[in-house]
Every structure is written in structure tokens, then in C-alpha cells.
Amino acid sequence: MRMKAAVSREVGRLGIEEVELDRPQDTEILIRMQAAGVCHSDLHTYRGELRATPPLVLGHEGAGVVETAGSRVSRFKPGDKVVVNWLPACESCPTCLSGRHNLCERLARTTFRALMLDGSTRLKTTDGMPLKHMLSAATMAEYAVVDECGAVPVPADVPYEIAAVVGCAVATGVGAVTHTAQARPGLPAAVIGCGGVGLSAVQGCKLAGCNPIAAIDVLDSKLAFARTLGATHVINSSEVDLVDALRELTGQGPEYVFDSVGAAQTIDAALRAVRPGGTATIVGLHAAKSEVAISAGALVLQNKRLLGSFVGSTRPRLDLPLLLELYRAGKLQLDDLVTKRYPLDELPQAFDDMEAGNVARGVLVF
């Protein structure tokens, strides 16, 4: 079938064009997309800054309706409302059996190479160029084909835009707090970077009962978003030293610092800012291909912990439904997180708005 999609034919090139999508195979479903989140990972991918590189169709956050299902699909039927799970864990390898579904051993061979789970692709341009599926998902398109383990049911009353961002931004930010750092109530926390993931981490800190909760960014517009979503204090790190500001607020520093940026400078700041015995958790991927120097003295002499958090240590088939229920119960303010909606043709503007800090989370709607 032919459809419109966000295509990157080569590094640094982005276009909205018609592509060919093959029908789903036996264990796969065809999803008619209704919403797709706009994430920094999409931007990094088409710029060639992550492992999977063009040519490919962008997008990994998404929600829609099952259109057709393969002959061996048992979990879904046409008409079902689903969120795309771009971490389709096998749940049978030793890593999955240990509870680390986000580190499933088959992901490196397939998903992180932008391939389907059988190592192939279902996409090509109208002039015959094969296209990969970003993170086995390719949600920035009118339709997507995923394996049935690459989808999770969504309650009927949850908007598609909300379901889409739960699949990555919310799971990553909230999970970093609740799963990776296992934050305890009553202890001070700070979040560096107030994009979609950082703002979700702020909400995770609120959910965990942390106090105070400091949000840090260089843009006042993002800090204003953070205040509405649970930050008790905000710090503009372009005006003051964030480590000094956090110590002034909390004494020795926060018990928990979450770095949603992941640049060399912010990783260093997170480790320096956290109090002795505290935990710095790195969530962002800006320095994914860089070597980052850290202070061994801070780790050893001050007994600090430096943790990596990939997608919030999430077990998607278990945790995404829980996050959706927290939203339905009013415990997560996700309506306020989605601040702007765009048609597919306006994806370049959505990327510009994201980089400029004009949105908390932008979403493509179909």
C-alpha cells in the first residue's frame, strides 16, 4: 500500500513523501496511526547521531487503531486501540528473564538497527529504495507495521496523543525515578532539562513523594512548564551555577539528580550536584557517541552512585498499562505535557519548536 511518511533518505535530509508499505506478516499487525510524538531521538537519528542511520522512516512514539492482523496474531484484532511499544522484548532470553526487558538481547540485532524483528524491512520509496523502520516502529507515517509484541492495548477513554507520548517520553522520565533510581518519599530531587522526558521525570519525582523538586533549564519557557507539572523550585542555569543553586536550596545537594540531557557538561554537573551518598541518574543521549570524563573522587570518596537509565528501566508490556492507569486516575498530568499538535507535513516546524523550547511535547496528528 502507498502512504505518506516522514522519510530520511540520507543523513541530514528530511522529507514528507509517499512510500510503499508491505502487508503485515503472520505475527504482525497493521496500525492506522492517529498520533506520533516528536522526540529528540528522532532528530538525532536523521542527523546520524545514533546507532540507526538513514535511509529510514522516522518515529517511535505512536498510537493508533489496528487495521489488520496476521494469521498468527493472538493479542489483537481489527479495531483495537494500541500504543506502539518500540521495545518489543522477547521475554525469553536470559536478560529478559532477569527482569531487564529494556535490554532484551534481540534488540541489538533488530530494533536498534531499525529493522523488523525478522531482520528485514517492509518499507521502500516509490522509486525502489529500501527504507528501515526507526526502532522497529516508523510511527511518523499514516500506517505502521509492527510485530504484535510491539503494541500494547490502550483504554478507550485515553486520547491518542496521550498514549503516544506514554510510549517513550513518559515511560523514560517517570521510570528513571521510580524504577532506576527507586526514589524514596521526602527526599530532595532535581531534574536537569525540561523537555518531554525531563518534565516526565519531574512528574515521576512528584509521584514518588520527593520534596523539594528542582527543575533546571536554560529557557524560562521550559521552567514555566515544569512549575505546572510539579516542580517546587526552578533554576535557570544560564544565570546561576546549578550546583551552587542546588546546594543553597537543599544543603549538601539533592539526594537524586536526573539528567535528561545527557551532554558531557550536564553529566558532570549531575554527579557534582548530588549530595554525598546520593544518586545521579543519566537519562539523555546527547553524548551517546562521546567519551565523558567523570570524577572518580566524587564516586569513591563521597560514595555517590552514577546510574544509566535506558527508557526508564521499563518493562513495556507491564509498565505502559500502569502509566496509562495513573493518567486515568489523575496522578500524571499528561494533558498539560502535550502542548502543540501538528499535521505530518509540519514535522520540520515541530522539530524547530522542540529545539527552541516552544513546546513541552509536540505531537503529530493524523
- What pLDDT is recorded for position 142? 98
Residues 301 and 336 placed together within one structural domain of the fold = no
**Which amino acid, residue 255?**
E
> Looking at residue 230, which CATH number applies to its domain?
3.40.50.720
Q: How many CA atoms lie within 13 A of 31 on its CB side?
A: 34
Confidence of residue 286 (pLDDT cuts 50, 70, 90): confident
One domain, residues 299 and 332: no
Kindly report the average pLDDT of the chain as a whole number: 95
* Residue 177, in any domain of the structure: no
Q: What is the pLDDT of residue 222?
A: 93
pLDDT tens string 175-205: 999 999 999 999 999 999 999 999 999 999 9
Looking at 308, 327, 344, the residue that finishes a domain is: 308
What pLDDT band is residue 122 in, cutting at 50, 70 and 90? very high
DSSP 86-145: S----S-SHHHHTT-GGG-TTTTTTGGGT--TTS---EEETTS-EEEEGGGT--SBSEEE
| CATH label of the domain that carries residue 341 | 3.90.180.10
The percent of residues above 90 in pLDDT, for the chain, comes to 92
Both 240 and 300 in a single domain? yes
- Which range of residues forms the domain containing residue 208? 182-308
Identify the domain boundary among 308, 323, 339: 308
Same-domain pairing of 220 and 293: yes
In a domain, 241, yes or no: yes
* Domain contains 174: no
Considering the domain architecture, whether residues 60 and 202 belong to the same structural domain is answered as no
- Of residues 245 and 48, more confidence is placed in 245
Note if the bond before 153 is cis, omega within 30 degrees. Answer: no
- Asked whether residue 144 falls in the same domain as residue 187, the answer is no
Q: For residue 173, tell me if it sits in a domain.
A: no
Give me the numbers of helices (H) and strands (E) for the chain, helices first please: 12, 18
Measuring CA to CA, how many Å separate 153 from each of 26, 76, 204? Answer: 19, 8, 22
Output 289 or 364, whichever has higher pLDDT.
364
Q: Which of the pair, 285 or 148, is modelled with greater confidence?
A: 148
- Same-domain pairing of 230 and 135: no
- The residue among 289, 308, 327 that closes a domain is 308
Q: Cβ(312)–Cβ(334) under 8 Å?
A: no
Same domain (yes/no): 283, 344: no
159 shares a domain with 276: no
Q: Is position 175 within any domain?
A: no
Model confidence, pTM: 0.94
Total domains in the fold of the chain: 2
Average pLDDT over residues 106-110: 95
Conformational region of residue 167, where left means phi above 0, alpha means psi within -120 to 50, and beta covers everything else:
alpha
User: How far apart are the C-alpha atoms of 287 and 168, rounded to whole Å?
Assistant: 19
Examine residue 172 and state whether it is found in any structural domain, yes or no. no
- Indicate whether 115 and 233 sit together in one domain: no
pLDDT at 23 exceeding the cut of 90? yes
Same domain, 323 and 278: no
Please indicate, yes or no, if residue 240 is contained in any of the structural domains: yes
28: helix, strand or coil: strand
Q: Which of these ranges, 295-304, 312-321, 340-349, has the smallest mean pLDDT?
A: 295-304
Provide the pLDDT confidence category of residue 285 given band limits of 50, 70 and 90.
confident
Q: What average pLDDT does this structure show over 113-138?
A: 96
Domain check: are 339 and 209 in the same one? no
**Inside any domain, residue 176:** no
pLDDT of residue 296: 87
